[in-house]
Amino acid sequence: MRDFQYLLPQTLEEAVAFKKEHGASAVFMAGATDVVVRMRDNLMTPDYVIDLKAIPGLDEITFSVQDGLRIGALATMNEIAANEAVRANYPTLAKAAGSVGSKQVRNRATCIGNIVNASPLADTATPLYCYDAVVEIAGPGGRRQVPIRDFIRFVRKVDLQDGELVTGIRVPVQKAEGRFYKIARRSQVDLSTVCGTVLKTPEGWRIAMGSVAPTPLRLDKTEALLAGRALDEALINEAAALAATEVSPIDDVRADRQYRLDMVSYIVRDALGKLA
């Protein structure tokens, strides 16, 4: 790992100013589970590391029936998985957060880091896609919000402009019953071969998949097929088959393309059967 200068801003404004000053030679750090590994492996070589941990309020998880859930940029996976409001109102997100890595990793890793990292197999992405989460951003031009489906653009590419950072994720109030799936080679401490979330809401079905395309995906065609229709075995099978046509997985060391297609169909079929 090459030498770098460590910066510890005390306010959000100071963090933004540091990034504006140093530009592409600086990187923000929250939980450090991704940044430090990438620096160690020389996949990134910043001159400045801007640590966000001293900024008050970024570690908060708040919930109200009016405003829904807000997860701060420093809230860890274990904190999200154990939070009573998350478990009661967004159980698939709690389960997804609790599936990431090991307990030790979850004590440092953040949900915001999982999203900003923009990996196709980010475990917390599929529930957040189904819950219509919104990403909160701060930068030199002020603050803005972006739906998570628009925020993640490609592998490791997100909608962040120069000097901007994510301060939190807001999740609307939901009345939903759902299932989260993580299919991996091992039952714990492994990356997802396929992950997915299926929600049943008063407005209709929501289905999202990960590790089957360059970004996580909402399966819009499958949701439209199910809209307003009573589930029976024929419709469930039709939806499971359609779901596999909406994804574009690849062969890699964890699984081949056909296996992933089969798992997408399995997730949809199993979840619809259990939630019907």
Other Cβ atoms within 10 Å of 237 Cβ, number = 14
Continuous H helices in 132-256: 148-151, 220-226, 233-245
9-35 core/surface letters (b: 16 or more CB in 10 A; e: else): beebeebbebbeebeeebbbbbbbbbb
Rounded distance between C-alpha atoms, residue 185 and residue 254, angstroms: 7
The closest alpha carbon to 133, from 116, 146, 152, belongs to 146
For helices 257-275 and 233-245, what crossing angle results, to 10°?
A: 150
For residue 126, what are the CA distances in angstroms to 76, 142, 192, 196, 219? 18, 28, 12, 6, 11
**Could you list the pLDDT tens digit for every one of the 276 residues in the chain?**
889 999 999 999 999 999 999 999 999 999 989 898 899 999 999 999 999 999 999 999 999 999 999 999 999 999 999 999 999 999 999 999 999 999 999 999 999 999 999 999 999 999 999 999 999 999 999 999 999 999 999 999 999 999 999 999 999 998 999 999 999 998 788 899 999 999 999 999 999 999 999 999 999 999 999 999 999 999 999 999 999 999 999 999 999 999 999 999 999 999 999 999
Q: CB of 145 within 8 A of CB of 215?
A: no
- Please give the Cα distance from 47 to 63 (Å, whole number): 38
Contact assessment for residue 162 and residue 63, using Cβ atoms and an 8 Å cutoff: no
Query: What's this model's pTM, rounded to 2 decimal places?
Result: 0.95
Cβ-based neighbours of 186, under 8 Å, separated by 6 or more: none
First to last CA, the chain: 52
- From the list 170, 200, 169, 177, the residue with the least C-alpha distance to 89 is 177
What is the spatial distance between Cα 63 and Cα 239, in angstroms, rounded to a whole number?
34
